[in-house]
Chains A and B, each alone.
Chain A
């Protein structure tokens, strides 16, 4: 592999040929603001926020689409670069609703973060406020087109990660919007609600409907675990607040990267559903009634022991579970064979 040496902010760094200036910076912990960039997606060079100054170049090139060359000299934070970025942010904020205090994205919004970093208040340019209808007709995703910054990440995620190409730009210039064809609501399109678009949106334009008002990012503990649905084994992050799972977000899984399907991302409501069984039940006079663990376990042990005693071990059958963990299935196999004394154990692998 060929390696190039370049200088970034006076620091000499070495990166492989083909690396972009943005990647070179990030590999070396040099922060560069981006809105339209995502390592899983092709680079669009759309938001221009990642611009840097490179010796010998006339303008300020976007680092996400500029490849390093041998001996390149890059400046990422000089006044010219910072002023240009500030202007870009001021233009973005000019028509962006500043209702941050009630925005679901607060604390997780890249635009707000960069506005803070660059001292952008929204006062310099006063754009025409947009008053487009919010799409919340489906149970999964809320689209607020007024907050869209047209970075195009959702479009690329839908196309490149999910291969569905449901989203695209419509209209032009100031009127540009992102959405399904003919700007239809999500639920009238071919969208399958995988939520990849939500997971990459840098602002509050696309948010999870069920997470509205359920907590701020800094209040959430993220626990990485494995999806309980099909056999693919996607990794996901349970978002936990006050002991409750209030949402699921993407992580970087060995199998799935950031991609999830509608069940994995939005199918968590059963966890705290009121129908959950909370106490053992025993049938008395034909009805299932609440019982203590001691009573229930003793009854199970007594009945199973009696069957084993009177009819032999093979009069007991066990269905283990493809939904339970390895550890639990292992113990069920041990319980069946070592304690009940039978090989009558199976599960729904055949169904």
Chain B
């Protein structure tokens, strides 16, 4: 996020696009509600009529995957009506003409036919965003999980720069991240192309710095493979072994049958986790790790806030801290790695990571800190891009609308979109074992519009087989106007409904994010009802 979570409440206009905030980020949803209560205008863009849509002043029921067309049309209106922020564009950005030229053909009338959103609504929302004293954009995976995910984000950035709605309090571009420390994992170099703090591995100076700190001769310069590419490489036999810490790709990754096949092809699979996940079940070695309650450390949240994780109880059985296990493996491979505490590791992180340089456990005891925090005296950074962008001038990257990779056809007439539920989390490893959440929400279902239900001859609660080109699952249907005709939706939280066996692994060429939000499926009624758990 370029802003902090609490700044959302101060915005005058909120454009929430591809975010089911009140379910996936309930506490950020509270800030949205607060803003609305304070008089802010809320525009929600989502193919599904979520609770956010119920709260919205303008609900834009967009056709899945047509976000760029909408965002370009908003820019088109704002430029045509001369309500763009001329001073901001002149002093803070470059390549405006390129944007102007590109969006010229995206008239609201033309875009209405692509997105299904009335031209007048597009105009109203564009004006509202441009003219608000402070406008903020919230988005999540509804934007990024498309083959054009990176371009979707660029289109958002273009809009924010065009209107000068970035680089100040309450206004910005705010991706809401889905997992407790997904921000931190990125910050810490758990990515194939960068060390900590996004220092590229391709820059020799960076490699030298880390090689010196780590006491090795040299470090690999070639960027590694991304998650999806790793499974492809395993499938072709190029990758021989994998070490998986705290992930369950068999349920979480697209085209899951391919993932299982790839993992089974490996010579050696190590899984380090707190439960015997579906992935751990096929491992050669399983290493027992500890949960958040048993460890010290830090998480970095979606607004770049570094906060302490504190050990409250001793590990279960012989389980060990992940950092301790990593040290044992390194040492056994001839690289002595002996840390006494998580704090000692943070000291090393601060030494090699400019954006974390001022962060220490002593300071975190006084309160959380938002990076960039370059020195021990620096108070941390509330919002980004004040006065200047990271690269200097903000560059407009004009982007064209492309349709999703796999569109419905006669054989697979429906679009399947996947996402999250309030009561569950990711592959359910934790939330299916709480004695409470899974009692309240015991069974997954497929949301389907009544027209499609009728065409398929199914009633609420009946079981259907959902099939894509890659696999099929059986699931109960819930007939609902939350989805439009032609769209079905479910989550990936349930092993019994391993929906990622169906999803499309087609990836964004830049970010390598798979297109979870659109794949073509068909449904057929299953005559024998599944033996399902009783709903309380």
Q: Which residues on A are within 8 Å of B, measured CB to CB?
A: 137-140, 161-163, 187, 192-194, 209-210, 221, 223-235, 238, 240, 243-245, 254-256, 259-264, 266-273, 275-283, 288, 291, 293, 296-301, 303-305, 307, 311, 313-335, 337-339, 341-351
Contact = CB atoms under 8 A, between A and B. Distances in A.
A304 B268 contact: yes
B436 A326 contact: no
A264 B178 CA distance: 14
A311 B291 CA distance: 34
A247 to B, nearest CB: 11
A332 B291 contact: no
B214 interface: yes
A350 B223 CA distance: 17
A231 B302 contact: yes
A283 to B, nearest CB: 5
B333 interface: yes
A319 B393 CA distance: 35
Interface stretch (B117-125, B127-135, B307-315, B483-491): B307-315
A225 B309 contact: yes
Nearest to A223: B312
A343 B201 contact: yes
A315 to B, nearest CB: 4
13 contacts: A209-B436, A226-B307, A259-B30, A270-B275, A270-B431, A273-B275, A300-B287, A327-B345, A330-B345, A331-B327, A335-B326, A350-B228, A350-B514
B425 to A, nearest CB: 5
B328 interface: yes
A283 B294 CA distance: 27
Interface stretch (B21-29, B94-102, B151-159, B407-415): B21-29
Given A139-B440, A232-B28, A321-B185, A328 B180 contact: no
Contacts of A221: 312
Nearest to B184: A326
A229 B301 CA distance: 11
A273 B309 CA distance: 20
Contact of B297 (A234, A313, A316, A327): A327
A245 B299 contact: no
A331 B323 contact: yes
B398 interface: no
B335 A339 contact: yes
A330 B337 CA distance: 13
Given A330-B196, A331-B337, A319 B182 contact: no
Contacts of B402: none
B181 interface: yes
B330 A327 contact: no
Nearest to A229: B425
Contacts, number: 467
Given A318-B243, A333-B195, A225 B312 contact: yes
**Closest A-B pairs by Cβ, 5 of them:** A278-B317, A233-B301, A325-B297, A321-B246, A343-B224
Contacts of B268: 303-304, 307
A301 B330 CA distance: 8
A163 B37 contact: yes
Contact of B434 (A193, A254, A269): A269
A140 B227 contact: no
B303 to A, nearest CB: 8
B337 A288 contact: no
B225 A298 contact: no
A259 B34 CA distance: 13
Given A264-B27, A321-B190, A328-B326, 19 more contacts: A138-B440, A224-B308, A225-B312, A254-B305, A255-B301, A269-B435, A276-B288, A281-B286, A282-B285, A304-B268, A314-B238, A317-B224, A317-B242, A324-B246, A325-B298, A332-B188, A345-B191, A348-B426, A349-B185
Contacts of B309: 225-226, 325
B219 A297 contact: no
A301 B332 contact: yes
Contacts of A234: 27
A333 B177 contact: no
Contacts of B270: 300, 304
Contacts of B514: 350-351
A306 to B, nearest CB: 9
A340 B395 CA distance: 38
B183 A231 contact: yes
A16 to B, nearest CB: 22
Interface string B411-451: 00000000000111110011101111101100000000000
A346 B430 contact: no
Given A233-B299, A255-B305, A330 B179 contact: no
Q: Which of A230, A255, A283, A299 is the most central at the interface, judged by chain B CB atoms within 10 Å of its CB?
A: A230
A227 B299 CA distance: 9
Contact of B332 (A283, A300, A324, A327): A300
Nearest to B227: A346
B478 interface: no
Contact of A315 (B238, B295, B305, B326): B238
A228 B287 contact: no
B182 A337 contact: no
Contacts of A346: 190-192, 224-227, 230
Contacts of A281: 276, 283, 285-286, 288
Given A297-B332, A337-B220, A245 B312 contact: yes
B180 to A, nearest CB: 5
A237 to B, nearest CB: 9
B129 to A, nearest CB: 23
Candidate in A229, A298, A316 with the most chain B CB atoms within 10 angstroms: A229
Contact of B333 (A161, A301, A324, A348): A301
Contact of A314 (B180, B224, B422, B424): B224
Interface in B194-210: 195-196, 201, 210
Contact of A337 (B210, B227, B316): B210
A332 B292 contact: no
Contact of A307 (B241, B281, B301): B241
B459 interface: no
A228 B241 contact: no
Contact of B345 (A278, A283, A331, A335): A331
B245 to A, nearest CB: 5
A325 B181 contact: yes
B430 A228 contact: yes
B230 A319 contact: yes
Interface in B82-96: none
Nearest to B304: A233
B180 A278 contact: no
B326 A338 contact: no
